[in-house]
A and B are shown apart, each in its own frame.
Chain A
Amino acid sequence: MGGGAFILIGALVLLLSDDLPFGTLASPGAGMMPKLVIGAMLAFGLILLARARSSPALAAIAWDDFPHAVRLIAITAACIAVYTWLGFIITMSLLLFGLTCVVERKPIISAALFSLGVTGFAYGLFRVALKSPLPQGVLWF
């Protein structure tokens, strides 16, 4: 499975490298290094594919943590999408609340207090103490 995936990725990147000149050995072009590396990737992928029997079967991999991972990625992705638009305080409060209340199913009140408290502390630390330019967003904080 792993070997096949890397062969597919390698082939796709090779297609995308069409416009990159390989050059000559005396004058290597921008495409030389990527194409050499893709060649190596395809070769290692093929070896893995050939030795697939010695790897654990796909069905043997435990996926019980997958729903947790998907929820976490979805909430984080939503927050990244609005980070520069809504600004640090609103986005981070929503992120922490989402993760503690929605993913971890903690009580709403404690999740809300935790989110606001931690975001306030982080804002004070990074923005006020360390003078880091955090995104301000439409509401200027």
Chain B
Amino acid sequence: MLCYAFLGCIVGTLVGILPGIGPLAGISILLPVTFGLDATKAIIMLAGIYYGSQYGGSTTSILMRIPGEAASVMTCIDGYAMAQKGRAGAALSIAAVGSFVAGTFGVVMLTLVAPPLAGLALRFGPPEYTALLVLGLVLLAYMSSTSLVRTMLMAAVGLLLGCIGIDVMSGHFRYSFDIKELGDGIGIVPVAVGLFGLGEILSTPSAVVTQKVVSPRLRELLPNSSEWRLSALPIARGSVLGFFVGIVPGSAHIIASFLSYAVEKRVSRTPEAFGHGAVAGVAGPESANNSASTGAFVPMLALGLPTGPVTAVLMAALLIHGIPPGPQLVSEHPDVFWGFIASMYVGNLMLLALNLPLVGLFVSVLRIPYAYLYPLIVMFCIIGVYEVSHSIVDVWIMLIMGAVGYLLRKFDFDPAPLVLGLVIAPTFELSLRQSLVMSGGDWLIFFQRPIAVTLLALCAGLLALAAVALLRKDWRGRLARAQATGEGA
């Protein structure tokens, strides 16, 4: 088990370091490699890639000012400024220690929170699950970095793609166009690899990726006492904040790092130092992003609800191995659940031990020209997708999704909700139809059960808040335009 956690951590760190491959693309591409393993080993390795990438993302941010993945954007600002001042080693150490503390805190909280939450979710019937999935989608849209309407539109496209294939209740073929491979539906792997792996490469011409790297010396790796002191509280705050933000659906680890940066700047006695190499600007966001990554596992493991595209793909990995995540996971597959938790404790320790001594090696990986690196990634995308079902149709789907991902980025649509919609589509449809059948066609069933009505009330509240914010923004825009016209006249 330790060997797979170790392998996952190493690969994850590389995935986090290399610009253009995020954790989602990394996990999707490597998902087929785990097919030969049992479920526990597979999920341990894939989760290792996920939290390893959160550690690795900070390296490129600090040494190159290129975020290896989106959550490391905030680390770029002060991390790179510290590197420019000759404190690259200290910044890397603070990021690694912060990630370790936050990751461990997240795992402790996951251990404490997930089993009781799973116990509660055992009371859920189809109406509660339908309401929970609707809440998941609404929360995702509410927390999204793009607009609520765009996010819901993407989720709807994902749900529609999830309808392709044989209808499990009636046996009807839906949108399969006599292609027998589409009878089983569209797989998550080709869609995720296409949208996030290939789509990212299409949007990143090699000319825009530069390999200017600051190389820290080994003896400069330890922060001084003042830097340790300045990082302690931001690490603690980032850990707590990140975990609770991580539970909420959406791009939690990205939001957590942005939120932590804002909090640290607000509470700092020297806010003017932010942007010029503030230690708290590295410690807070790095801790928050790692803690949020762990927090995201709580709804996935306890409720079977993916909170983001990465947890959606991890959920798909468990399903491929015949293990449905959700309330029954703790009681029916305790080996998988507790093996996974134990691996996270060890994994965090491994990452701390690995990241600092091997920083020189990782820096040398960054020197591979992108013009040679991305063809390699395209090759791995094709191998990975073909390996899932040995179907060339899946590889074509990946290519189409790559082009779609490129266009979505151009038009400012976030492709993540599409993957989420695709993952939850079968469960959502089944629970919706089961609810209607058991109530004899009465929609009121969703409002007659306390848990379902509470979840739907939360949805309504969030949608109302979003609508008010939208109207206020429109009103301000009109006011500004009217003022500008008045001044012009």
Q: Which residues of A contact B (CB under 8 A)?
A: 1-2, 6, 13, 16-17, 20-21, 24-34, 37-38, 40-41, 44-45, 47-48, 51, 54-56, 61, 63, 65, 68-69, 72-73, 76-77, 79-80, 83-84, 92, 95-96, 99-100, 104, 106, 114, 118-119, 122, 126, 130-135
Categorize the interface residue count of chain B: 35 or more
Question: Chain B contact residues: over half helix, strand or loop, or mixed?
Answer: helix
A37-B159, A92-B379 known; A28+B437 contact, CB < 8 A: yes
Using CB atoms, name the residue of chain A closest to B35. A132
| Stretch from B38-46, B104-112, B113-121, B200-208 forming part of the interface with A | B200-208
Which of B163, B170, B378, B428 has the most chain A CB within a 10 Å cutoff? B163
Q: Can you give 22 contacting A-B residue pairs, CB < 8 Å? A: A2-B150, A13-B160, A13-B175, A25-B443, A26-B437, A33-B428, A38-B160, A41-B153, A61-B410, A61-B411, A65-B204, A76-B198, A76-B399, A83-B395, A99-B375, A99-B378, A106-B372, A126-B387, A130-B33, A132-B387, A133-B390, A134-B386
Whether the pair A126, B163 counts as a contact (CB closer than 8 A) is no
Q: Which residues of A contact B432 (CB under 8 A)?
A: 28, 33
Whether the pair A44, B163 counts as a contact (CB closer than 8 A) is no
Cα separation A16 to B174 with both chains bound (whole Å): 9
Distance (whole angstroms) from the CB of A82 to the closest CB of chain B? 10
Whether the pair A100, B159 counts as a contact (CB closer than 8 A) is no
Q: Which residues of B contact A27 (CB under 8 A)?
A: 437, 441
Q: Tell whether B462 is near chain A: CB-to-CB under 8 Å.
A: no
**B175 in complex: contacting residue of A16, A25, A72, A114, CB < 8 Å:** A16
Which of A45, A65, A76, A126 has the most chain B CB within a 10 Å cutoff? A76
Given contacts A31-B172, A99-B375, A106-B371, 11 further A-B contacts (CB under 8 A): A21-B170, A25-B442, A32-B433, A33-B428, A34-B160, A38-B160, A44-B149, A76-B399, A83-B392, A104-B206, A132-B383
Whether the pair A2, B411 counts as a contact (CB closer than 8 A) is yes
Which of A20, A38, A69 has the most chain B CB within a 10 Å cutoff? A69
Q: Which residues of A contact B371 (CB under 8 A)?
A: 100, 104, 106
B137-180: CB near A (< 8 Å → 1, else 0) gives 00000000000011011001101100100010110101100000
Using CB atoms, name the residue of chain A closest to B172. A30
Using CB atoms, name the residue of chain A closest to B385. A80
Whether the pair B169, A30 counts as a contact (CB closer than 8 A) is yes
Distance (whole angstroms) from the CB of A141 to the closest CB of chain B? 15
Whether the pair B163, A34 counts as a contact (CB closer than 8 A) is yes
Distance (whole angstroms) from the CB of A10 to the closest CB of chain B? 8
Whether the pair A34, B174 counts as a contact (CB closer than 8 A) is yes
